[in-house]
Chain A
């Protein structure tokens, strides 16, 4: 078997280099195309990774559990009255690494001179520090200490609009589950800057105890936030948590949402990334088809007599077919290999170094993207791109191979 293949590899390789300029140009065109597509794919994967990480880990977490309907209504009426048993259930899922509780409510923040809308998070300061990046984004002052029930950390955009700084007092107002307006005074302990407009312009973080007391929630929370070992484990863990929670005998109906379910933008970005990947793969196949089909047809027409000779010697049509397909695969493997090394090398280099796009930072901040992009070469993308190239090679090799295999030796030998 290998002996039979070796002659086709040898014939294919040598035939390609009968016309070094043509083969060189085709290889170069393929290499440039594959390099560009590999790099674009890595950029896309890098962006997606940033969006996923930034979106999920800035605030959201990998998975959230709410009373059913809360994500839609955002009202405290849809709350989890007793989260403790649920925490025990969630801890049974092996992929779970961290759990924290939150109260999330929309309200109004007021200072002596101004007021503005705020998204208030009541958090457990110690676990929240490990769950989200909020604590890490603190740029002035400090993060909340456990038991600091008078402290608040504000997004720097919100602080600007309220015209307050560290140590200043603000009043937070929100609607209680009973429909009353409740207000509480807090003192600014820290300011955070995430680079994400929604976070910086709206966020106010207080302790969970303070939020529960201020809003009359008792031990109720709105969110149980879960972090699993990595993004690949999210789907499986979400499914397991849903099943475990559904098996409970008592308690309010719940919703278990993964990070991508929580924000339509994130979901659309993921869908767009998938579509983008398909576009890249389609372009890879088209590039390979266009480049290689042309070269192989030219090569086939030049070698009609040679195929006739081979037929006369007793080479089977199927062997001629396989030989031409092999030749195509060799050409594509060469071009794609070089292209992939270039594209992969650039992706790796910029993955480490980063591509600085800070002049587009405002645009990026809407999409949870960092202005410094780190291309990411994922195994899945590598397999897809190289797989598409091989498919392109096979498809583009089929027609010339079919034509070569169908040649009648007597007719082919008359060709000059």
Chain B
């Protein structure tokens, strides 16, 4: 069974009298272990699709199942619990809770999952080590570069052992070297741990790193390309 099964996903935004179709009927199936990049111009529906797949937003129509659960039948509270257990997120910016250190940011989601204090700091340190930030565990976000912050976000996204990591424009605020390092890290983790990644980006470097590239245009899937 596919990790994600979506059919006919629709989403409209209203602005005064006018209506904009952000998603105009998306059918999507994602297998476990995939590394998929959703690409397309600004306004093509990438972020909207990612938000709906991650249970952060609700579609106006269609059906969606993630990890075997009907996402549209869940309450807000159930979706939050589902995200905690099954999903990891990396956003474009402001990814971290600014008053917590890198270690605490990673450990926070583990605490929410109920992991004991001694164990969660150990796991957090392991994941910070995995993303080459072992020496930054006690730094707060404002004491780290943008790239380091994104790597902490990746560590946090993976620390809970999610079925799926959703990343929305993760390299948008990074210079090309840092961006490349981040995307290589995500690819490495995908291959190493088998975690499924779904990345929304219009960054050519990210697009080039995709194993599956899905092009969106005007809220529809324009093409699906298997790259390597």
Q: Give chain A's interface residues, CB within 8 Å of chain B.
A: 3-4, 7, 10-11, 14-15, 18, 305-306, 309-319, 408-410, 413
Contact = CB atoms under 8 A, between A and B. Distances in A.
B181 interface: no
Given A313-B84, A314-B109, A11 B77 contact: no
Interface string B106-147: 001101100011000000000000000000000000000000
Contact of B57 (A10, A315, A319, A408): A408
A401 B57 CA distance: 21
Interface in B81-107: 81-85, 87, 89, 91, 94-100, 104
Contacts of B40: none
A310 B81 contact: no
Contacts of B116: 3
A309 B95 contact: yes
Given A3-B117, A11-B100, A14-B99, A312 B54 contact: yes
A15 B97 CA distance: 10
A318 B76 CA distance: 11
B56 interface: yes
Interface in B56-85: 56-57, 76-77, 80-85
Contacts of A309: 91, 94-97
13 contacts: A3-B111, A7-B111, A10-B99, A306-B94, A309-B91, A313-B83, A313-B84, A314-B84, A314-B87, A318-B77, A319-B112, A408-B56, A410-B51
Given A14-B100, A312-B83, A410-B57, 16 more contacts: A10-B99, A10-B100, A18-B98, A18-B99, A306-B98, A309-B94, A313-B89, A313-B109, A314-B82, A314-B84, A316-B77, A319-B112, A409-B56, A409-B57, A413-B51, A413-B91
Contacts of B81: 314, 316
Nearest to A316: B80
Nearest to B99: A14
A410 B111 contact: no
Contacts of A18: 98-99
Contacts of B89: 312-313
A314 B94 contact: no
B49 to A, nearest CB: 12
A238 B81 CA distance: 62
A329 B14 CA distance: 39
A19 B50 CA distance: 34
Interface residues of B, number: 30
A7 B85 CA distance: 19
A314 B112 contact: yes
Contacts of B76: 317
Given A7-B108, A7-B111, A315 B94 contact: no
Nearest to A13: B99
B97 A310 contact: yes
B143 to A, nearest CB: 14
Contacts of A4: 111
A81 B116 CA distance: 81
Contacts of B108: 7, 313
A14 B99 CA distance: 6
A313 to B, nearest CB: 5
Nearest to B160: A314
Interface centre among B56, B83, B89 (most CB of A within 10 A): B56
A194 B57 CA distance: 79
A310 B97 CA distance: 8
B94 A305 contact: yes
Contacts of A10: 99-100, 104
B99 A317 contact: no
Nearest to A7: B111
A315 B80 contact: yes
A404 to B, nearest CB: 14
A5 B100 CA distance: 15
6 nearest A-B pairs in the assembled complex, by CB-CB distance: A314-B84, A14-B99, A410-B57, A410-B56, A314-B83, A410-B51
A344 B85 CA distance: 50
A90 to B, nearest CB: 65
A313 B56 CA distance: 10
Contacts of B51: 410, 413
A14 B80 CA distance: 25
Nearest to A303: B98
Nearest to B142: A18
**A313, A315, A318: residue with the most chain B Cβ atoms closer than 10 Å:** A313
A413 B56 contact: yes
Contacts of B57: 408-410
Contact of B97 (A11, A314, A318): A11
A11 B100 CA distance: 7
Contacts of A15: 99
Contacts of A310: 97
A317 B77 contact: yes
Contacts of A413: 51, 56, 91
A9 B54 CA distance: 29
B163 to A, nearest CB: 13
A11 B99 contact: yes
A410 B79 CA distance: 13
Nearest to B50: A410
A309 B13 CA distance: 22
A3 B96 CA distance: 21
Contacts of B99: 10-11, 14-15, 18
Query: Which of B56, B80, B81, B84 is most buried by chain A, counting CB atoms within 10 A of its CB?
Result: B80
A369 to B, nearest CB: 52
Contacts of B109: 313-314
A75 to B, nearest CB: 77
Nearest to B156: A313
A19 to B, nearest CB: 11
Contacts of B82: 314
